[in-house]
A and B are shown apart, each in its own frame.
Chain A
């Protein structure tokens, strides 16, 4: 093949040149990520600067504050930055935490089932099902939730008395915490299932066979040895799913309610029916704020918090996996 060789100078694409080009490309990517982090933080800084740590606290109605911020930007008078995001943060914690807990439990059992205990016909059905559920766009989950689940909750699950009991504060329409948690759990579970089952499959078969040969039954062998050896994969899957859950904007915008309200556990069981709005959907719902400087800063500040939480979760996962290495893993 003569095409790559030029007569005097050797190959037209010498390795050094290619390596440098590819290396430059990769550096550009890294630079892009850094630019993203810096830009989001810098743009959001005014909101943090004006609010200080109270940004994370509660105080006043979040929606009113957002309105005031927007209007102040339009009017050209002194910008207002006052923003206390606690209701949004609380909503994020509740919805993400609830969804990840439910998902973790179900995904672990389903993964164990697929890898070890399901008969062949069942796992041949389950694996495509899991792949399918993972690939459904979030807006379709949102649509089904809004048109099927929300009316069901609003009309059938919540009784009139319950609605009356909190009527002064908030109206229960079915756009609720529980709707968000259930659909979000369904969205992130397939991701966990595939990562968990990959982890379970890569456990050294010698360990499992050794345990069976000692008279331990298959169920306990799978859980005490297999799942234990696959713990790094479980942590990795959970971290990934949590990051996905925190960042989910569109589906939750459609389902969780459009009010910046902090659901109150003191209300008793009703609190799962209360609407709220986590951080990511807040950005989507208030995207018009970008045109006004203080509004834009507020949105970017929320984005900074999102980035930061995803990073912290990854770090926790990394630390957890490091500590698991002491006794050895798969």
Chain B
């Protein structure tokens, strides 16, 4: 019967052969890669730093110019005709206009998007319709907003929808806050659908089964359990959609009329007189105030762009906060 094999004393280690010598016990460093690989890593670093530098440059430049040109009265004075930039007022109409389209757009997109996502995740029969719907949402995401705008002109110029905009002598103008918001909701829709689907799909099956097992309908389960659980994702989707809505220019330029002030419809009651009328938003204002547009007031353009950027940054920060809070709460252990 053999005993355990005795291990003879360990020989002294020979000097390391030439050509070797990586980092001691650390993650593999790039010192030993071939030249082509190292150039690749250098390109990575260069591009990464370039992106950071560009982002910083954009923010700083707009910050500087915005602070230089933004006066508080610009936020409260509507635009007016004037010869110099100082005399021509501010962009309060544009600011309020942005808020109006944001609220209206998201209130259309959110229910529609959540309902579509719920149908896709929870129901989804017949399967062919589900696939078609998925493709439809993807297609809507891929349609340029200028095409959506053109389509909007056709829809809202029809006499059936004349109550949504101004008409004169039987010709429906077709440009109003209603029209613009309706088309803008299509811009936000795919984002909301995608985020809500993600949120609903992340809920494991046994949660739903637990609810059905006590006799609840699918509708009740969705309304009382699933949607509240998916709230962070829905909120994220809504904020992403909001960001795209307030950043869109093409639909505004086409569907909101080419004015710089509110142009309410005369014979309607507040607030519908404004909502049926034409107006402007920050994006439209920046476009018009830039050298490409009609006003050519670069200082105002900078000021408005600065305000717009602040809004977008605020939305981004809100998305970040929602994410972080959701991660802290934790997820199902499935």
> Hey, which bits of chain A sit against chain B, CB under 8 A?
1, 4, 11, 13-15, 18-19, 22-23, 25-27, 29-30, 33, 36, 39-40, 43, 106, 109-110, 112-114, 117-118, 122, 125-126, 128-133, 135-140, 142-144, 146-148, 186, 189, 217-220, 223, 240, 243-244, 246-250, 253-254, 258, 280, 283-284, 287, 290, 299-300, 303, 306-307, 310-311, 314
Q: In B237-295, which residues have CB < 8 Å from any A CB?
A: 243, 246-250, 253-254, 283, 286-287, 290-292
A148 with B51: CB separation less than 8 A: no
Q: Name the B residues within 8 Å of A1 (CB-CB).
A: 220
A13 with B220: CB separation less than 8 A: yes
Given contacts A22-B119, A139-B247, A250-B249, contact A303 B150 (CB under 8 A): yes
> Hey, which bits of chain B sit against chain A, CB under 8 A?
28, 30, 32-33, 37, 40-41, 43-45, 47-48, 51-52, 54-55, 58-59, 61-62, 112, 115-116, 118-120, 123, 125, 129, 132-133, 136-148, 150-151, 153-154, 217-220, 243, 246-250, 253-254, 283, 286-287, 290-292, 298, 301-302, 305, 308-309, 312-313, 315-316, 320
- Given A249-B144, A280-B144, A307-B147, 5 more A-B residue pairs with CB atoms under 8 Å apart are A27-B129, A29-B133, A110-B47, A136-B247, A218-B28
Of the candidates A22, A110, A144, A300, the one whose C-beta lies within 8 Å of that of B51 is: A110
Alpha-carbon distance A112/B44, docked complex (angstroms): 8
Q: Name the B residues within 8 Å of A303 (CB-CB).
A: 146-147, 150
B292 with A253: CB separation less than 8 A: yes
Alpha-carbon distance A136/B254, docked complex (angstroms): 21
Of the candidates B120, B142, B246, the one whose C-beta lies within 8 Å of that of A310 is: B142
Chain B: minimal CB distance from A23 (Å) = 7
Alpha-carbon distance A307/B151, docked complex (angstroms): 12
Of the candidates B118, B154, B243, B253, the one whose C-beta lies within 8 Å of that of A22 is: B118
For B51, B217, B247, the residue with the greatest tally of chain A CB atoms inside 10 Å of its CB is B51
Alpha-carbon distance A196/B59, docked complex (angstroms): 25
Chain A: minimal CB distance from B230 (Å) = 16
B51 with A129: CB separation less than 8 A: yes
Chain B: minimal CB distance from A287 (Å) = 6
Q: Name the B residues within 8 Å of A254 (CB-CB).
A: 287, 290-292
